[in-house]
Amino acid sequence: MSVAWVIRNLDVVIAVGLGLTIGFLDVFGDVVSDDVSSGATLLVLGALAVGSMSERLRRMSDIREASAETRRALEDLAMVRSLSGDEVGEALETARQQTNRWYFKGGTGTYLRAVTLPRCVEAATRQRAQLSVKIDIINPGDEQTCSAYARFRQTFARQRNVAAADAWTTDRTRKEAYATVLAACWFRQRLDTLEISVHLSSGVPTLRFDLSESCLIITQDDPSRVNLLVARDQPLYDYYVTELHQSREQAVRLDLRGIPSLSEEPTVDEVRTVFDELGLPLPAVFTDGDVGEIIGKALHAEDPYRR
């Protein structure tokens, strides 16, 4: 029996002690009269009743406290929720509202250049606001990494019976990644308040991360699968801010400053020159038709979530 328990249950301890004292005196001598004994018995019973009531009150207080903690935990849990189907596009649209920063990490950034980047730039232009965008994708100049990423995408595409025309190949992967780099360069030249950086990784990502000022959205290559949304006030959000920063630090950063100007509809020669200036030359086997395909993917990409 600890001292803390005795202090917590002091009323019960006093009642029991008083009862034992009166009992011993009554048994071993005539020290206590019947009236005193009866009165003491009532006193002990009253003390025990008071102690019982106090204990109940303490238990009720503990229950209320535990309930409050449970409620807070459930509220926290509600801030990390799952997304599926159309909820993904809706969550991304909400995240784009009233934000002046967007961090992305993923494979080739198709949705980023098709929807997120143009709409964020449009909003920043309309509001004359600063916009910070950090992009972390696979390195299109690393054929081995692009092949590994294509194999990863093919594995799950076969399970969904994706048409051959939409199949992920090494060639497609490289073009998609080159297109995201080109889109970043093109938008940078059209908004002076846009601070944009592109980082190229040799790792093969299995998830995509989109981080705005209000939340973090973690998605997979198949929009029909369950994805996650983490609110800004959750510790996991801050953890991923650090994680994404460290990932960019380990990647190759492209210097987008001072690159040649790109037309509203860039020409093949302009694009080849830009990639040469970036130190990321297009493969020699890429024809003008291949470069034209990259331009189309960069500036006219289709929303992959649109059905």
| pLDDT tens digit at each of 307 positions of the chain | 555 554 555 555 565 565 556 555 554 555 545 554 555 555 555 555 555 555 555 666 666 665 555 555 444 555 688 998 889 889 999 999 989 999 999 999 999 999 999 999 999 999 999 999 999 999 999 999 999 999 999 887 666 555 555 789 999 999 999 999 999 999 999 999 999 999 999 999 999 999 999 999 999 887 677 899 999 999 999 999 999 999 999 999 999 998 999 999 999 999 999 999 999 999 999 999 999 999 999 999 988 767 5
How many Cβ atoms from other residues are within 10 Å of residue 281's Cβ?
A: 12
- The whole-chain average pLDDT of the chain stands at 83
* 82-299 fold: Endonuclease; Chain A (3.30.870)
Tokens for 95, please give them.
């995240």
Tokens for 147, please give them.
């092949």
Tell me if 219 sits within 8 A of 88, measured CB to CB: yes
**Distant-in-sequence, close-in-space partners of 172: CB < 8 Å, separation ≥ 6:** 150
CA 186, CA 170: separation in Å to the nearest integer?
24
Q: 197 exposed, middle or buried (CB, 10 Å; 0-12, 13-18, 19+)?
A: middle
228 bridge partner residues: 82, 218
- Which amino acid, 242? T
User: pLDDT per residue over 19-50, tens digit each?
Assistant: 556 555 554 555 545 554 555 555 555 555 55
The domain spans of the chain are 3-78, 82-299
Name the residue among 210, 211, 188 with its Cα closest to residue 198.
188
**Distant-in-sequence, close-in-space partners of 121: CB < 8 Å, separation ≥ 6:** 131, 187, 190, 191, 194
Q: 66 exposed, middle or buried (CB, 10 Å; 0-12, 13-18, 19+)?
A: exposed
